Every structure is written in structure tokens, then in C-alpha cells.
Structure 1
Amino acid sequence: MPLATKAAAFDAPVIGSVQRFDAELDLILAPDARIEVIASGYRWTEGPVWVRDGGYLLFSDVPANVIHRWQPGKGAAPFLQPSGLAGPIPAAIREAGSNGLAIDAQGRLVMADSGTRAIARVDLTTKRKTILADRYQGSRFNSCNDVVIARSGAIYFTDPPYGLAEGDASPLKEMKANGVYLLETDGRVVQLDASLTRPNGIGLSPDERTLYVAQSDEERPVLLAYALDAKGLPVESRVLSDFRREVDAKLPGLPDGMKVGKSGHLFASGPGGIHILAPDRRRLGLISTGKAAANCAFGEDGRTLFLTSSDMVARVRLKLSGW
């Protein structure tokens, strides 16, 4: 069956389970919440984002170098191919496609382009791509992984070496650090943290005073919180949640992508699925598909959580809106 017609959400199968750790979860998820598979058959899904002007979901299949569009009642079909690096793919590139996606205030797609090793913007009508940044202090990025956009239009992003076939040992690697960065609205790139081994997912609190970064390292699988000053720069950091116990229990996945709801609740991928955390860091529950979860996004009326999980995309209804 062609990929474009796989698992359209007309007869969506229900999978997985929801685990309840705290009574507050009942304000977010109904006890009988269903996890529905709406598309499947991919290599590794990532970066879901809902496009309100058009009413559809975009998501990356990173190794396949394709962005797909899912529409209610129509299912999923390729939208942008290649999504990342165009032309012949060098053997030294492991993940040629786009990864994390976001929509800016003008309705344009902003991507962490793993294969091109850049932060890029795409006009959704013409599909024309513009490179916004591909270097820091003259050195090329490793393989940009995830993005979040501040209200000012500044873009926070992470740059681990996952897209390079040999990781830190890659001959293509020009950057010593696997960093966390801020792309200012004037085009200036600021390095925020050069100490992490595997920075991955990234998110902002509703008041934009806290930046969240996931560390996808089996030796230190943590979710970090950075306090930001008035200029959006970090002044201190702390571990918000440590997933060592879940890693030791061999649950699938690592800390990865995330979204932060307008209530301040975090929906963060980690070992076992999507972990729901209260703003005060309490773990409220876990949405599990039975496979590693890479990322999530709010969509439809804001009360649907879309999950990219291994080879598929799923959704679950929420009791509150993420917007």
C-alpha cells in the first residue's frame, strides 16, 4: 500500500495506555482517554506541528527526508520531499531530513534541518526554503534537532550530532560543543549552553521565563530547566526531572521532544512515552503507545495531543486546551 494512504484516521486503531500518578491528571485527561493511531508505516516520526491556517498536521520522517501532512478525514500524504538535505546524501549523513518543526507568527514553517545542518524557514504556499542560520562563529552546526519560537520571533534550538553517521567522531563535525542556541531576530546566534552531551527537545514556559531542554543521554537522561532573564538568556539551570529509573527499567525511548501547554503543564517525551508534568515538576501521568515517543504537539481545537512515536503518529483527546 502506498505510504500516502496508510493508516488514514477513518478507522483508527486504539493502542497503549495511560498511567495515572497524581489526581491532578484527571484535570487533563479523562480516565477513558483513547490513544488512536492516525498514520503509520514510517521510519522515524518527529517534529509534529499543527497548522491552524488550513487545519492540518505536519510531521517529519527524519531518515526518509520527508515532511508529511495529515488532514482529518483524508489521512497522511507527503508534503515536502526532500524536507532537509537536497541532492545526493553523503554516507556521513545519517538523518538527512527535517526534525523539529514550528510555525512562526506569520504562519511560516520553521524547521531544525538535520540534513542541511541549519535552521530554516519554509513558505507553506510556495514551499520555498530560506536558511536562517547554519553556523556559529564560522563553524557549521552538527545536525539541528528541535526548535521553539519566542513571542519576539527569536528561535531557541538544539544541535546534537544525531544526524551525523559517526556522531561526535564524524569527520563532518566542525563544532566542538553539542549546544543549545538562540537565534536572535537580527540573525545573531548566541550559544546558551555548551556543556550538554545530547541536547534534544526544547520548550518555553508560557511566561517565557523558563527554557526547557531534554538531554537524550543514557548516562544522564534528564529534563533541564533554565531560568531566563529579560533578554531571554539563561542565568541558571536545574534538573527538572531525572529519568534514570525509567532507563534502568528498559522502558522504550529517552528524553526527547516536548510541548508546554498554556497552563504550564509539560508534555515531555521520555522513557515509556509522553510524561505529563505539573509546573511544579510533579509527574502526573504517562501516555504510552508501547514504543519510543519522539515528540508531541497540540492541534485541532487545542485539545488534541498528537504524538510521534517510532514508526507512527497517534492522538489523544485532552480535557484542557494546550493553546
Structure 2
Amino acid sequence: MILTTLPRTLSLVAAMGCLAFAAVARSDEVVSPPASQCQLFATGLAGLTAMCCDGQGNVLATNYRHLGSVGRISEQDGAALLFDAPLPVADQDETASLVGIALDDDQRILVLDSQLGRVLRYMPESKMVTTLADRIQGRRFDSLFAIDIGPGGNIYFSEPERASGDGATGSLYRFDVVTNRPVLLADGLNQPTGICLNSNGKSLFVAESGRGLISVYTINQQDGSTEKVAAYFLALLLDIDDSKEIGRMGHIAIDRRNWLYVSLWDRGEVAVIDTTNGKLVEVISCHSDGVFGLALWQDALLMSIPEKEAIYRYDLRPLIGRHAP
């Protein structure tokens, strides 16, 4: 994960500055992994599955067995259903679809319901699910995607678009655990999907599918405000002429080496970017039509493959051996 703040010389928000950074960052020789190292990890998923790890070797997965559920997957104990997201009284005919998941320091599970626009929290001791937020300043969330936990337990999450409005209507939010309400961090984003924070909580990475880029924000440790300081343009990194060919991006994750893993949802690939130098490390093929969720687990990358309703495990050790100093 990123251990140092990105240089201010890369903080030009102007398009030319970001383009220049991305052009320099592009690797001259992109290495493709030799043979597939993907192994089946778990089956029985429904819809789009997001994942996170609990620090005890277990994997938490959304939409396990059916939509609106969360399951725990363990190599030793197998898989089990943890809970179902309750539906509001007024929405009993709807179906919850949990597409984002995170775990806070108190082992409480946070999930995002994209269908009903809710941030939910599961308390393991009481086994109760409560709604933390479903609106901001009176407006209901239209769609939610990814979630992560920052310093002080504050919750960061993305909304790809609004039902009303044209153009780029996506937003980035922080749920302040002190005031117990959501705060708008950035708007006018073009399909913000995956998000993740580095280990010290000072840098926030946001995938903007509509622009084919990864935006990097610094987080002010005093007031929690954010400032965009850099961007990775995937078309330049992947040597693609038209950024539209990148398609949608799913979830993203960052490891202790500062390598950022980006789900190229529509391409069935994962791009690995070294954020210390802005270069593309490798592109991992999932040998499928799409890859949605990502999670780092032990020495592997877990990937949820919607068409196979399964999670696959990719051994990262050979990749690390090829590139790590």
C-alpha cells in the first residue's frame, strides 16, 4: 500500500498535467503473465459479488447463494451464510443487491445496497443489520458501488450516477462517524466505481469508468476533506487508442507494495499498476468475459467472475518475483 504521499509536482488537476503524468508513467514493456494461475476458490454466488477479508483468513462475500446476502468463506470451515439484508417496509417487493463490502476495526460489516441506495452495517454480536445512510440532504441515493474504511472509522463510498441529470453525475462521499451523517467529497464524476484507501489512510483511489482513469485524492487528516492530486489514464498505460475500449471498471485494491489492482470489468482482465512510479506492471487475464470484485488474500488475488458465479484465486507470488525489487 502507498506509504508516502504523492509528490505535489504531480498534483496538477489540469488535463494537460494529468495527461503528461500518464504518458510518462506508461511502461515501455508490458509483461503478460505466462500461463493462467487462476484456481477455483468458491462457488454458489449470485449476481455481482464484492469481497473483503476479515484478518483471520476468512473471506466475506456479498450475494452469497442469493441476492442481498453476505457469506463467510473459510478454507478450514467451508462457507456459511452470515446474514440477509432486510428490506424496508415500503420496498418489500424489491430485491437487495449488495455490491460493496468492507470491515471496520470493530469487525462490523459494512455493505452497499445498489438497488435501494443504502449503506448498511451488520453487528456480529447482536446479529442486527441497520441502515446508516440512504440519502444526503434529503435526496435518496440512486446507486451505490464501492466502500472502504478510513482513519477514525469514517466510511468512504461511491455513487456512479444519479437517476436525474445528464452527463457526469457521479459522486464520492464520506460517512462521518462523529456526526453520523454523509458528507459530499466530490461530484461531477463520470461513473465512479471502485475505490480503495492506502494503508495509512492518506490516499484515496477512485476508478472513473466513464473517463477510463484512476483518480488519486489526498485526505486531510484534520477535517477529512479531499484534494485530487494525480490521475492514471488507462488508455495510455494499456496502449489503447480509444478509452471507450476499456469499458466499465469494477472494484480496485492496493497491496503493501503500492501496487494497485484494477478490475477491467468488461475486458475480463485486471491491470496492475505500480503507484510508486506510475507504470503498468502486468495485465492479468481472468479468461472470462468479465471480472467484478477484487480482494487481496494471503499471497493471492481473489476475483469474482459473474458469468461463472464463482470466486477465483490468482497466485501473486510469480508476479511479485518477476517485478518486485
Q: TM-score, normalised by structure 2?
A: 0.74
Residue of structure 1 in register with 2:74 after alignment: 71
CA distance in 1, matches of 2:185, 2:62: 26
Q: Which runs of 5+ in 2 are unaligned?
A: 1-26, 321-325
Map 1:78-227 → 2, pairs under 5 A:
78-81=81-84, 83=85, 85=87, 96-161=96-161, 168=163, 177-186=169-178, 187-217=180-210, 220-227=211-218
Does the CA contact (< 8 Å) of 1:259 and 1:296 recur in 2? yes
Does the CA contact (< 8 Å) of 1:112 and 1:145 recur in 2? yes
Residue 45 of structure 1: SS of its match in structure 2?
Answer: coil
CA distance in 2, matches of 1:266, 1:315: 17
Does the CA contact (< 8 Å) of 1:148 and 1:202 recur in 2? yes
Q: TM-score, normalised by structure 1?
A: 0.74
Residue of structure 2 in register with 1:58 after alignment: 60
Residue of structure 2 in register with 1:269 after alignment: 263
CA distance in 1, matches of 2:292, 2:218: 25
CA distance in 2, matches of 1:223, 1:249: 13
| Structure 1 residues 52 and 25: alpha-carbon distance in aligned structure 2, compared to 1, 3 A threshold | farther
CA distance in 1, matches of 2:245, 2:81: 31
Deviation at residue 74 of structure 1 after TM alignment? 5.3
Residue 50 of structure 2: SS of its match in structure 1?
Answer: strand
User: What whole-Å deviation, never above 9, does each CA across 1:221-247 have from its counterpart, x for those lacking one?
Assistant: 222112333333222343213248659
| Structure 1 residues 199 and 247: alpha-carbon distance in aligned structure 2, compared to 1, 3 A threshold | farther
User: What whole-Å deviation, never above 9, does each CA across 1:91-113 have from its counterpart, x for those lacking one?
Assistant: 8x6x7221111111011111122
Are 2:280 and 1:286 equivalent residues in the alignment? no
> Which residue identity is paired with 2:280?
R
Residue of structure 2 in register with 1:308 after alignment: 304
Report the count of equivalent residues: 279
Q: Which runs of 5+ in 1 are unaligned?
A: 1-20, 162-166, 171-175
CA distance in 1, matches of 2:313, 2:197: 22
Are 2:225 and 1:229 equivalent residues in the alignment? no
| Structure 1 residues 86 and 318: alpha-carbon distance in aligned structure 2, compared to 1, 3 A threshold | farther
Does the CA contact (< 8 Å) of 1:292 and 1:309 recur in 2? yes
Deviation at residue 45 of structure 1 after TM alignment? 3.2
Deviation at residue 41 of structure 1 after TM alignment? 5.2
CA distance in 2, matches of 1:247, 1:22: 16
**CA RMSD in angstroms, aligned pairs only:** 3.3
User: What whole-Å deviation, never above 9, does each CA across 1:9-48 have from its counterpart, x for those lacking one?
Assistant: xxxxxxxxxxxx788989xx8x667211223354433211
| Higher relative helix content | 2
Does the CA contact (< 8 Å) of 1:156 and 1:181 recur in 2? yes
